[in-house]
Amino acid sequence: MQDDFTYIALADDDEDDRLFFTEAFEELKLKTKVDTFIDGVALMKALRDADTFIPNILFLDLNMPKKSGLDCLKEIKRNHKFRDMAVAIYSTSASEEDIENTFVNGANIYIKKPNDFKTLKKVLLDVVTINWQYHTNGLNRDNFLLRL
């Protein structure tokens, strides 16, 4: 069942962003299953509970109450169970500091939330169709931030 579609998860405290995200995937009509979590705590709880059900790609907002995206990232990267899960940072800001911190802590790609829906769909399509194996091997600081 897992092979049939790509399992995608998003942790974002912003309701509108969660809406844009799910609507974008609906319109893209890909074979995906999208789950959203309202903050880092909810995400980590779900990940801990789901033993076999691990997302293929996790989109992480950075600025979240209770548990920030960076904390989630660190926790995930410490856990061997999630070694095959790609982590995409999905944030409003693209400050050098945030980019540096998430890169060092093992995130796979950094996405700055686009300003219009068309771009959002394009970005999400790009991310889902990336050959992660290839991308992760050639990962470096220059292609970490997804440029459009």
Instruction: List contacts with another protein (CB under 8 A).
Output: 14, 16-17, 20, 63, 92-93, 95-96, 113-118, 120
Distance, in Å, from the CA atom of 16 to the CA atom of 12, rounded to the nearest integer, reads: 10
CB of 87 to another protein, least distance (A): 20
**Is 143 in contact with 118 (CB distance < 8 Å)?**
no
Cβ proximity to another protein: between 16 and 51 the closer is 16
Cβ proximity to another protein: between 115 and 140 the closer is 115
CB of 26 to another protein, least distance (A): 13
108: burial class by Cβ within 10 Å (0-12, 13-18, 19+)?
A: buried
CB of 12 to another protein, least distance (A): 11
Cβ proximity to another protein: between 17 and 39 the closer is 17
43 sits in which H/E element: helix 40-49
Cβ proximity to another protein: between 92 and 133 the closer is 92
CB of 16 to another protein, least distance (A): 5
